[in-house]
Chains A and B, each alone.
Chain A
Amino acid sequence: MSINILMPALSPTMKEGKLARWVKAEGEAIAAGDVIAEIETDKATMEVEAVDEGVLGRILIPEGTEGIAVNTPIGILVAEGESVPDTAVSAPATPAAAPAPVATAAPAAASAAPAPQAAPAGTGKRVFASPLARRIAAGKGIDLSTLKGSGPNGRIVRRDVEQAASAPQAPAPAPKPATPAVAPVEAGAGYESVPHSTMRKVIARRLTEAKTTVPHFYVEMDVQLDALMALRRQLNAASPAEGPGAYKISVNDMLVKAAALTLRRVPKVNVAYSDDATLVYDDVDISVAVSIPDGLITPIVRRADTKGLRQISTEIRDLATRARAGKLKPEEFQGGTFSISNMGMYGVKAFSAILNPPQAGILAIAAGERRPVVKGDEITIATVMTVTLSVDHRVVDGALAAEWVSAFRNVVENPMSLVV
């Protein structure tokens, strides 16, 4: 009998998604476990595996279609030789009874900005406005969220919109930075309009939210790297030349571990702010920002404080590779308790990172470079990098942030703790 292939829910909260690609063509035989299609949400690309065997009788939703509601029939699976219905077969009693393909979190794509935490549902507060005010605002291109309502209970009424429209250039005082001001494009300026990818939208939304709602506080410190680099040379020299046991530990791997150890020493930074309480994480999970072709993503090294450098190194390499291929599973980039963003490879002198809520800290690592330093009364040369810790000041005060950075420097400059 024919079976509807339904749009799967990739997560409990997923409402709709994009059918990115049909892997199988109409008429193609399918064995249980075969990947038949790829589904994309704002967070990930997932593969849809067939549970039953048969033939992909009909594709109901062409690939590239966006906004497909969960449980919408996307295709029809038929038995070999069976005739193919044109439209979705009437739904069996319960969706569960239909052995529709389940989505396994196959290695899949892409998403979010430094903070692919569960995306908050719907940004922005509800705007109370009369239908007429809405219609006039739409006609005049006025953003209602920038207006203050003068009607009952602050409702935006026609007069408010008309006043805003007639006020020359004077934007109504926005009660809160609801939307970032969009710099209007100069008339006549040549440009190409590149539509936002899903990831770009997530990056835009989450970073705007982080930067506008979280009070950032920054602490910067110079850290000498010579000891750490000497240790790294020793470790890497001990690696087999090749074969399965071979490894090559990077400075970044060591800094991830250093940050994890520092969080164990100063656990009050391994926290998240919530309206009611400070959440102190049990584990230390380090999100490592990885730049990928159309944005960035933060795969996570779980319990990094408990892992050896070799394991951390292997994990980061694997995660980064799969991140660039757009094949991370959601749980591999959603979560984390602290972030690291390393731009040392670009020779960056110093920078400040935007927090990745609900995390309370992100460490920005700049390039290690040879600089003159004063040791005692002597000027000597040392390899120095500048690190900048951004913290959520609601839960991490300045002195605590300074204590953390200082502890981090101590770990890096005395790196034996990374290996014992």
Chain B
Amino acid sequence: MSTTQFDVIIIGGGPGGYVAAIRAGQLGLKVAVVEAAQLGGICLNWGCIPTKALLRASEINHLLHNLGEFGFAADNVRFDFARVIKRSRNVAAQLSAGVAHLLKKHKVTVINGFGRLAGTAGGQRKVSVSVDGKETATLTAPNVVVATGARARVLPGLEPDGKLVWSYREAMVPGELPRSLLVIGSGAIGVEFASFYRNMGAEVTIVEVADRILPVEDAEISAFARKALEKQGMKILTGAKLGAIRKGDNAVTIDVTVGGKVQQVMVERVISAVGIVGNVENIGLEGTGIEVDRTHIKVDPYCRTGEKGVYAIGDIAGAPWLAHKASHEGVMVAEQIAGRTVHPIHPLNIPGCTYCRPQVASVGMTEEKAKAAGHKLRIGRFPFIGNGKAIAMGEPEGMVKTIFDDATGELLGAHMVGAEVTEMIQGYVIARTGELTDAELKETIFPHPTISETMHEAVLAAYDGALHI
């Protein structure tokens, strides 16, 4: 190693860490990224990106089986599951290589190994790097960004075994398509895998302990999504408790209690998607001023920890566990270290997206939360069936819901379900970030014909009434 002295050392090369590194490099800082696995982190290698490749394949499969609607006919439609999986891996590999290139372009030093805070020396923070438990380097810098991310939470009795019980990782590289699948947990990860496998042809059951799927979404949207998924043949059990688990050779039987009644669910595979835990172990937090609260590092609105010069970003720094939140925090911290004026993240301005079919996207408060916060609400709804483009696309299933504060016209929340909504939610995110009110949204001209017109209509519906319904 030629040099070990940096302006900032970033532990973890995921969407938080590598983006922080690029930004710090842009701002002229000397940057090191310590990554124990792959650049791009879970998001790029085992999360957001490869699942999108899989979901795209399953969407094509769905279309191929519904060609008649568009006047096509095809016989003997089939797929090579291994090639579907391979494509997903290739996409991840391509992007990971892209990250390496970007870091090189911004003169970021990438160090392979496991990074750990190792005290201070002469006002500098030390980070030790080890490979296979053997220390390979000690780096120093006045600033350290902890971006070690998170991993899947494991339920006792449902530890991933590589065969019958999968975590997201096994679910992404299955040897073959299981005939039946139980997905435990109906957050974004669970629902996306459920949607992929269902659209590829598997029998899918979702169990969720809460009383509805996608529990962080607005209740109305969550009910809409449930109906749509059930229409596709998915079985959904909410308010469900897991009981005894019996593993067979190529099958798992699980007792599920719903409303006091026990039913046995027998499936070939189980995906456990019950949340995440932060990677706080063995990274040198012990004995420092850095506080850990249930596997997450406590930070202030500027991502500062209890130790001066140590920042934490992304999943390790708490909810929401979203790549774009991590990246934004990475930029904010890099700019902070470079002496720029930065603005804390407003949690209600972070959009959330779930790429099941139909897609779900939202920003801001749900109706329930907005009510609880004491707002007098104005709510607008608009269904995709009133939108020309949606009908032309053969995607008439969807809706947009807007929630405004009656007193100020603030867009408190926006919730969407339907085709392409993950691409459209940014319109409402801009409105929230720019603190636009109903007045500006009403005045905005939406292009015709687009599905985005439903966003405008949902605003109008909250006030004087939508035009096309």
Contact = CB atoms under 8 A, between A and B. Distances in A.
A135 B434 contact: no
A139 B437 CA distance: 14
B339 to A, nearest CB: 16
A74 interface: no
A132 B343 contact: no
B343 A131 contact: no
Interface stretch (A151-159, A188-196, A208-216, A377-385): A151-159
Interface of A: 130-133, 135-136, 139, 150-152, 157-158
A139 B410 contact: no
B343 A158 contact: no
A131 B437 CA distance: 6
Nearest to A138: B408
A133 B343 contact: no
Contacts of A133: 435
14 contacts: A130-B436, A131-B409, A131-B435, A131-B437, A131-B439, A132-B435, A132-B437, A133-B435, A135-B408, A135-B409, A135-B437, A139-B407, A139-B408, A158-B435
A234 to B, nearest CB: 73
Interface of B: 343, 407-410, 434-437, 439-440
A162 to B, nearest CB: 10
Q: Find the residue from B408, B409, B410, B435 having the highest chain A CB count within 10 A.
A: B435
A150 B342 CA distance: 10
Contacts, number: 29
Contacts of A150: 343
A67 B77 CA distance: 73
Q: Find the residue from B343, B408, B436 having the highest chain A CB count within 10 A.
A: B408
A135 B407 CA distance: 9
Given A131-B437, A131-B440, A151 B408 contact: no
Contacts of A136: 408
Contacts of A157: 435
Contact of B343 (A130, A139, A152): A152
Q: Find the residue from A130, A133, A139 having the highest chain B CB count within 10 A.
A: A130
A132 B435 CA distance: 5
A130 B409 contact: no
Contacts of A135: 408-409, 437
B436 A131 contact: yes
Contacts of A132: 408-410, 435-437
A152 B435 CA distance: 12
A-B pairs, 5 with minimum CB distance: A130-B435, A132-B435, A131-B437, A135-B408, A132-B410
Contacts of B436: 130-132
Nearest to B346: A159
Given A131-B436, A132-B409, A132-B410, 7 more contacts: A130-B435, A131-B409, A131-B435, A131-B439, A133-B435, A139-B407, A157-B435
